[in-house]
Structure 1
Amino acid sequence: MKLKNYILVCIALILSINGFAQQGKQKRADTLFNKFSFVKAAKVYRELIQNNYNRDYATRQLADCYALLRDPRNASRYYKSVVKQDNVPVEYYYKYAQSLRGMKKYDDSRQWLQTFKDSGGVINSNDFSKDLNFITSVFNSKQQYFLDKVRFNSKYSDFGAFEKDGQVYFASARDEGVAVKRVYGWNEQPFLDIYVAQAGTRRNVNHTAKLKGDVNSIYHDGPVVITKDGQTMYFSRNNYKDQVEEKDSKGLTNMKIFRAKLRDSLWTDVEDLSINSADFSTQHPALNNDDTKLYFASDRPGGYGGSDIYVVDINADGTLGEPENVGPVINTDQADGFPFINNEGTLFFSSGGHVGLGLLDIFATIKGEDDQADEVVDVINLGVPINSNKDDFSFSMNPNGITGYFASNRVGGRGDDDIYAYHRKPVLHVEGVVSDAINSKPIPNSVIQLINSKGEKVAYMTTDKNGFYQINIDRNQDYKIIASQKKYIDDYRTFTSKHLQTELTSITANLLLNPVPDVIKLAELNTIYFDFNKHNIRPDAALELDKIVDLMLNVYPEMVIRIESHTDSRGLLSYNDKLSIDRANSTYEYLISKGVKPERITEHQGFGERRLTNGCEDGQNCEEKDHQLNRRTQFIVIKME
């Protein structure tokens, strides 16, 4: 009995020691997780799962580790187990959906998003589940971007490529050739530095290509942007001063944007900017076309969630104004960052909150028309191959508008994040205005048909209120464009998109429609106007009458018209009747004096104030411009040929 009791006590003691050991291991894993050392934390959580210690918790934490390491394959593997747990927090349904999205399992992702919603979760208004056709439309849209090889990627993280004067500046975690390597705990890679390579180089880039000067530090540095004159650089860097990292109240070292000057071929005079703080991150600098505005990403208080994109004015003396959030059309409650402004003023950025193909996708902004021409009204996903089911970010475009760079951790790269080059074939379109051949007025609601060289109809649309149309077309093709309107004779143009420069984005094909014969009344013959209480032909009216003379003598030699003249409501009815007849006579006499035969004008009548075009009747308080509309002569086509 004593031996048995001894054995039981030993077993209990071993179990107790093992329990304490596992408890300590979990504490260590949580400490690593809270310090953002996700690679090391994941290793310990896997050991806890193998030892079946607090398995549900460890599995959730391990899945989160992989999600934060941007590894959707392993994240989805463990989230799949997590969502089967009893009383699992509902946000894990959303996390599982996002990881499936990163695996291109879009249907499964939507199902788990619905589960998240049904369980009380709130789905972002920008969430891709709102547009069930999004994936299809992106993959089937016409490809504009084509990938080119970049030969200087490393096995570590490379991103943020920015080309200036034939040199490519980029951030990289490569630290090859250095005896002592400093490692970033989050992903167990060396800290980022800024490197410079010749654009188009076919050689690898080692530590000797690090940017010269004072920009690179012992912590994270990059990416960068450089002013048009090449003398000022803005760059991201860890909050670092006097060889020491400065931390916030949570013990985290945030990012800041610094500014440096080029002195004797070295980047120096590094300056901390007023928009920075130790309490939040400020990073990913970008400049507008004239270097008067600085765009950046920040998780500062007051945003929409995650990180947002902001803009701040750069004053003439180099000081900065107050940052402004660029607003909810661009920013979401997820991560939004890596802004870039091209020469046309379009903002490109990366987001995890807008409708996308993967984790982070690259988007471009769309501005409005007319009174909204300076406002961003929507964003558009750049589609494949720029975007993938993984992270796609740090987009830049060279001044030519055709080439540029972005970064991605998609499958098939050399390392973690890789830099990709692209060349762009802009969408080509044919556009034009459909107008009346008589008076050049635009014709709205005209039917436009685009016909290819095989005689097949490839597009169909109607013109807008200004007679305008625009249709995307393929390059290296022959086309015919046809315009139709029920009151007019069809017109067509042939054109080609062959042998065009890549930069060309538009072909103009205007069309003129002639009215069909024997139309009873046409508004195509422009109305002419008279001064108050006058019947003489004004200079502007003479110009319009000359157009009618040309039309009748040179275009439609058989056309017959009738003249109708009117007054406004002011004055006696009998007086206005006489005044309108005087106006009709003046018009008739002008046309006859220019060579129009009298028999081609069947009547020239006056109707006084009996046919007002608006509500400016006797006793109504109307402005002069409204009365003017009633003092007129109109032309009615009786016969065309």
Structure 2
Amino acid sequence: MKIKILALVIILSSSFAFAQTKLADKFFENYGYVKAIELYEKAVEKGKGDAHVLTRLGDAYYNNSNSEKAVYWYGKALSEYKNIEAEYIYKYIQSLRSIGNYEEADVWFKKLSEAQQGDSRLKGYNPDEIDLFDKLTSKNNDVVVTIKNLDFNSENSDFGSFVHNNTLYFASSRSDDNKVYNWNKEPFLDIFQIDVKDGEDGTQSYGSPIQINAEDINTNYHEASIAITNDGKTMYFTRDNTSKRNRLKYDKDGTTHLQIYKATLVGEQWSKVEALPFNDDYFSTGHPTLSRDNKTLYFVSDRDGGIGQTDIYSVSINDDGTYGPPENLGDDINTEGREMFPFISKDNTFYFSSDGYLNLGLLDIFKSNILKDESTTEPVNIGAPFNSGYDDFAYFIDTDTQNGYFSSNRPEGKGSDDIYSYSITECNQQVTGVVREDRTDIILSDVKVQLIDETGKIIDEVVTKEDGVYVFDIECDKPYTVLAAKPDYKDTKETITTTNENEKINTLDLTLIPLIRDNQIVINPIFFDFDKSDIRTDAEYELENIVDVLRKHPEMMIKIESHTDSRGRDKYNMKLSDRRAKSTRDYIISRGVDANRIKSAEGFGETKLLNGCSNGVKCSEEEHQLNRRSYFFIVNR
């Protein structure tokens, strides 16, 4: 007999733990993490600590930004169970890093890499270094990119921006020379400069474009694409292959190729122009750019031995002014197509244009970490609005200000190629509203309002004051849930999805339904299955409101009334409703409420129907269910 009793206790305990888990799941799914944690941890105490419960506990703490607890429960799940989903390993790594345990995080990062090859989150993964521009290139709408076609663009070609000491250098075919280039029937390109002034509001204003050293730098043929050393004393630029007499030089097929030249600043004038030694009459060399330390020159060439039509190369610049041999950057960057217009930003990101990768059309701008000590160097398309279905190239960015320039021949421009300025700012919106009581429209203070992201994580929290107003700063183009809670009121939640309109203010008013009305605690109906007195999970979820009120008011006493529908015999329904009332009472007591605070739990059968569904009347299941209900009357206040 003792064995049977023990077995029954074990079964009942297991059944209770299972029911608590289902109820905890209900709260978890509705962002009730504190209540879910309480119930999950009770289930663990009862021996229901399976992988589902442990990872849910980890998630509940993780979403509530309690990293230490999240680490404990995720770690427990990973140590006790195999085949835990990679999602939880990922969150475990995040939590470990959050508490500064980088060594353990790296161990699990390696395990995740081995188990989850191809997971996009593993590419350059470092939660401690979130770069605004990286967000943009990963197609996030967390930023606003403001693009402007510059006023100084001409009807001809203007491209190739480079900024040094508040001077913008670019190439333009706006020359008054009558001599034109046969390719596009525009004048040959010259190098121009224009003063740039930074306004207090972060915008730029520009002076008038002028040719730089027209006599020494600009010739009757093409000059473009410059790079200037950090000290401002040396300039590299592209020019048509010309003789000392300023005449074009051709190869055996009658083609003139591009070459890179170097000029030295003497006083305020560029002079001492000389061709670089790795130029050649039989292939082109151009589009120079410098490494951050000025010890390496990168350029574009179609020389023999390359991978594609044009490749990007590098040469070392020696201390004595000589150059090392040109080295192809290889297939980390180059393709069988065209790679052009390299540029290296202050943060050592390598930008270039290409038509050899998946793109929006023609030349697109890409970035790579090839010059950084990163785990990936794979080029990334930086996407719209920088790239379009046309040629987009000659990218320049000042990473200190997140302002820069690029060139494009997109049709909305002024000429064949135009220079566009851009600025990158965070895209932010607000959600705000007033919290009121549902029935009276009274403004409510002391309401805890939480902002929850699409993963279920609580990311912000405020408490309303006398005006009932809450305000959250939110990101663009994302879904959010706003959850409001106040003692003696039912929690309420509303969802909102933001647009990509910067600085938009979203209005979302909230209403809370009071639990105490006159002499009752009013909750949603406690429904029972037909002919059953078991407490359903949805009923438990509602009964937690009763538990909360009684915990809030420790002197309060209640009585419970339960009712049935008219189906079945009257006497049977009276007994059934009584069992339901006592099941309801027992659940409340099981949640820690003193039994003496429930003065009575009584069934009234079908004696107090809410509709006309009495004996013999044909009604729907929904109409009958309306009569299967419970009331909670306050005996004292």
The verdict on a shared fold, with TM-score over 0.5 as the criterion, is no
TM-score (norm 1): 0.44
TM-score (norm 2): 0.44
